[in-house]
Amino acid sequence: MKSILNAEVDNLMEKNKMEKRFLKGLLIGNLLILLPVLFRKPPIKDWIFVYLYNAVTNGLIDMLLTSYKVIRYPVRFLPNLFNIHILFDFLIYPTFTVCYNQLTKKDKPFVVLYKLILFTIPFLFIEIWAERKTKLIKWKKGWKWYHTYFSIILKSLLTRSIIEALRKMKFLR
């Protein structure tokens, strides 16, 4: 009995190591992508605004969802400081949003939506995998994959609309 319990604990610890390595790989990969993406195409201040707006609002939304125990992140960076997924909220998703805004800067609304739907599908599959096979994320209180998918689409469209409105008002010039 004791050896079975020890084997189960060892298996759990090894799985957590794999998940932490996965997070570290995402961190390194995203950092390698971030600087060229932010400073690749002018206007740089637009992309910095998009990045910061997205990061701040992601953190606030995730704090709300985790405080109401809708989503949990059992394995995450800095677990003693944050209940939220800081890697996704402050790095991965804001970087994605900057790339998406750069790629759709001159597109018509239908193309903007079409590209967004296509671009968010990989996030969806990664989150479904992470929820089912790892301890990186756990959905609670009826949260499902489609809540995440449509939330990312709506949040990305809102960010895109705000940056477009600010450009039209010449606020960011």
DSSP summary character for residue 72: E
pTM above 0.85, yes or no: no
Q: Which residues pair with 72 in a beta bridge?
A: 138
* Backbone CA torsion sign across 62, 65, 69, 71: negative
Q: With CA atoms as reference, report the closest residue to 20 among 12, 41, 63.
A: 12
* Backbone CA torsion sign across 88, 92, 97, 100: negative
Cα 57 versus chain centre, distance: 11
Neighbours of 126 (CB within 10 A): 15
128 pLDDT exceeds 70? yes
Q: What mean pLDDT is reported for the chain?
A: 83
Condensed to tens digits (0 to 9), the pLDDT of residues 41-88 reads: 677 888 889 999 999 999 999 999 999 999 999 988 888 898 999 988
Q: What is the 3-state secondary structure (H, E, C) of 119-146?
A: HHHHHHHHHHHHHHHCCCCEECCCCCHH
Residue 138: burial class (beta carbons within 10 Å; 0-12, 13-18, 19+): middle
Cα distance between residue 68 and residue 49, in whole Å? 29
What pLDDT was estimated at residue 5? 41
Q: Which residues of 39-69 are buried (b: 16+ CB within 10 A; e: fewer)?
A: eeeeeeebbebbbebbbebbbeebeebbeee
Cα distance between residue 39 and residue 47, in whole Å? 8
Mean pLDDT of 5-25: 60
